[in-house]
Amino acid sequence: MTIRVGLTGGIGSGKTMVSKEFERLGIPVIDTDRIAHELTAPHSLLLARIADEFGPGVVRDGVLNRDALRQQVFADKAQRRRLEAILHPVIRDEVDRLAAQSDADYCIIVVPLLVEARFQDLVDRVLVVTAPKLKRIQWLKRRSGLSEPEIDRIMSAQATDAERLSVADDRIDNDGGLSALTAQVERLHQSYLALAAATGWPASCTKDPG
């Protein structure tokens, strides 16, 4: 059985950088954001359900208008819960299916809202990426063009670092350069391989469907 490591962290903390470092080491990565994009592709059943639930304004030319939907749900907690009720069960099923197919000693499952969505039961370990707030804001401004008030609204809607770390087994501090990040990933990589060997979870095993 493959060990499932749930990778999470606040927006702009560096989760993508960390997941790419694990991929560089040959570790499979399952990204729930990527799954959500695939599940809401044009003409998909989930896209139709979202349009029915939130109105035609969240779909433009048959494509999900993610900016419009994000603004709508971030402004209203009840609407955010309605969206999660549509997406999360299907995402969970897809994560479970992909992880069960893995023959690696461990895999990384990227779940930005792991704490908020209570996805802890899908993983065996939780890895939290942290970064200074100012660094996160500066990086998000460059990457996305969001204003600081918009970034603050998104951050305030997410769990705090303290809440994430309260369920964490492992932590990466993204407060230095890429070399420091890489070194932390490589240490954890060796730790996870050792854990897989010590617990007798060989890569040849598959998850018991029962």
The residues spanned by each domain of the chain are: 3-198
Q: Is 70 exceeded by the pLDDT of residue 117?
A: yes
* Average pLDDT of the residues of the chain: 90
Spatial separation of the C-alpha atoms in residues 168 and 115, rounded to whole Å: 10
pLDDT tens per residue across span 138-187: 999 988 888 899 899 889 889 999 999 999 999 999 999 999 999 999 99
Phi, psi of 145 (to 5 degrees): 75, 10
* pLDDT, tens digit, 9 for 90 and up, residues 23-55: 999 999 999 999 999 999 998 889 989 999 998
Distances (CA, A) of 175 to 27, 35, 133, 148, 167: 24, 28, 10, 20, 21
- Helix (H) or strand (E) holding 108, with range, is strand 106-110
Do 36 and 91 touch, CB atoms closer than 8 A? yes
pLDDT of residue 210: 32
What per-residue confidence (pLDDT) applies to 16? Answer: 95
Does residue 108 carry a pLDDT above 90?
Answer: yes
* Domain topology for 3-198: Rossmann fold (3.40.50)
Q: Which two tokens stand for residue 173?
A: 């501090």
> What is the spatial distance between Cα 161 and Cα 166, in angstroms, rounded to a whole number?
8
Tell me the whole-structure pTM to 2 decimals: 0.89
Q: Are 69 and 82 in contact (CB under 8 A)?
A: no
Lowest mean pLDDT among 6-10, 133-137, 163-167, 206-210: 206-210
